Amino acid sequence: MSYLVSLNGSFTTRPYSVIARPFITVAVVLLAWQLAWTFKLIPNNGFPSVVQTIGAFWDLLTTPFAKKTLIAHIGDSMLRWSLGVALAVMVGICFGACLAWFPRFRLLTQPIFEFVRYLPPLAWAPLALIILGPSLKAEIFIVFVGALPPVIINTWIGLTNVDSMLFDAGRTLGATSRRILLTIALPAATLNILTGIRVAIANGWAALIGSELIGAQSGLGFIIINSQTAARPAHILAGMLIIGAIGMSIDFMFRKLTRRATHWQGTSL
């Protein structure tokens, strides 16, 4: 590793060495995985090697799976996820704001919310499939119920923890309760709300893959469950790696896009 000497005499790493570290880590993991498989430290009959997994990924990339390309399957998954999460964000912010801002509304709805939020998203899947069938609506609904709770909770907490002095200042200047909510409370709770959305993104992605394992006719979860039926473990693992890589990329882009929105608070996600 190379170093640079700063003006105060201390050593600092070059930027490219920081960028290279994740790739070095991945390379070490892949090497350990392949060696463990070669020397039979992991069961060869069910767990694929690195070479087999790469081959399966190339096969998915170049050969249509259930008459659709890998890109088409990813596109179907992204569509279901984005619609479900977008709906959860809109409903969650409104519901969380009402819980924090209106005591009577909180008194009436909090017990129901506390009950519903402990139901796993996949618990809704059989009912959604019966009512809506194996359709886009059913998959969006499962993503929605998985992504909704963290948005509600973090919006609620964020608004509750806003400094009351800001509210007093707004009332002194003649602002109405609605104006205080929209122009003071919600902006002050931005970091909490964005944290809830970040968790919702991850929960929604996990719920989507679960819904596709049950009833979808396309998507990444569909690839995994059909590869299980066909006894193709390398394709299963390749699908899992694609799911993880996409999820990590979505989280990275979200943090980059929201950095400016939280910069004024002196912190970021």
What CATH number corresponds to the domain at position 192? 1.10.3720.10
Among the listed residues 249, 100, 268, 91, the one whose alpha carbon sits nearest the alpha carbon of residue 194: 268
User: How big, in percent rounded to 5, are the helix, strand and coil portions of the chain?
Assistant: 75, 5, 20
Residues 26 and 146 reside in one and the same domain: no
Q: Are residues 136 and 111 in the same domain?
A: yes
Say yes or no: 28 and 70 in one domain.
Answer: no
Q: Is residue 206 part of a domain?
A: yes
Does the residue 94 lie in any domain? Answer: yes
* 130 within a domain of the structure (yes/no): yes
Q: Among residues 198, 193, 194, 188, which one has the least CA distance to residue 247?
A: 198
Q: What is the pLDDT of residues 165-212, one digit of tens each?
A: 877 787 887 778 888 888 888 888 889 999 999 999 999 999 988 888
> Are 24 and 95 within one domain?
no
- Lookup result for tokens 């999460």: 85
pTM: 0.84
Q: What is the pLDDT of residues 107-130, one digit of tens each?
A: 999 999 999 999 998 889 888 888
Summarize pLDDT for 68-92 with one digit per residue, the tens.
Answer: 999 999 999 999 999 999 999 999 9
Residues 184, 205 within the same domain: yes
On whether both 15 and 107 belong to a single domain, the answer is no
Which pLDDT score is estimated for 14? 56
Q: Which range marks the domain in which residue 131 is found? A: 50-263
Shortest CA distance to 52 belongs to which of 265, 200, 236?
A: 236
Task: Give residues with Cβ within 8 angstroms of 217, minimum separation 6.
Answer: 66, 134
Report how many domains make up the chain: 2
In-domain check, residue 43? no
Nearest to 87 by CA among 148, 29, 160: 148
Buried b (16+ CB within 10 A) or exposed e, 2-29: eeeeeeeeeeeeeeeeeeeeeeeeeeee
Q: Does residue 268 lie within any of the structural domains?
A: no
